[in-house]
Chains A and B, each alone.
Chain A
Amino acid sequence: MALLGDEDTKYLRESFSELKSDVGVTVVTREKSRLVLPGADDGGGAEDASAEVKQIVDEVAATSPRIKVTHVDAAVDAERAQTLAGAHLPAIVFGGAASKGTLRYFGLPAGYEMSTLIATLMDLGSGEAMVPPEVSDELAKLTAPVHIQVFVISG
């Protein structure tokens, strides 16, 4: 069953028609194991929002040829998953033509956070700097890592 309705899809197609550059999105998830273990309720798979994250990103990306999605399954490529997302899954890792640094969303961008996903794609694909030049100049002077963590709740 699709997560996006027809109206949502239409809105996204129109919004993303304004994208001026490609946006790379890597979805890092952990697939549920197909191995059925005796006594296990769910076949021994990880219980997280991996399946829903994959689905929503795929559905959103299908509304624009500018949004390029890559999938990484931690069960298949643990090293790459670790490099991209560290210890937390599921993760959506964003990249754009002019983007530096690392930008990630961990969990399912549902409810109000769906607008975060959309806005991020719009910003990265705008082809424009997201901060004024004087701010960019200050940030370019950084010589040590800076880790920004923002905690939110969907809905």
Chain B
Amino acid sequence: MSSDKITSDVFEAQEFPELAQKYQVRGVPMTLVNEGAPIMGNVGGAKLLQAVLATAQSSGA
């Protein structure tokens, strides 16, 4: 972890069905950045960084 601004959570979807329903988890793994559009499947470092920076830019961070 390189920033104290980042919180990274992994949820076992079957143990948290209310979250799975809230975020409409239809397959795993599924990644959300600031509850944005879901990214399905394995997410490599470059793609995750891109999503994080895009989210930060859109929020004016």
Residues of A bordering B, CB below 8 Å = 48-49, 88, 99-109, 113, 116, 129-131, 135-136, 138-140, 142-154
Partner of A143, one of B5, B16, B49, B52: B5
Name B's A-contacting residues (CB within 8 A). 1-16, 19-20, 23, 25, 28-35, 43, 45, 48-49, 52-53, 55-56, 59-61
List 28 A-B pairs, Cβ < 8 Å. Answer: A88-B19, A100-B1, A101-B1, A101-B2, A103-B8, A104-B9, A105-B9, A107-B14, A107-B15, A116-B10, A131-B45, A138-B53, A139-B6, A142-B3, A142-B56, A142-B61, A144-B61, A146-B3, A146-B6, A146-B34, A146-B61, A147-B9, A148-B31, A148-B32, A150-B30, A151-B25, A151-B32, A152-B10
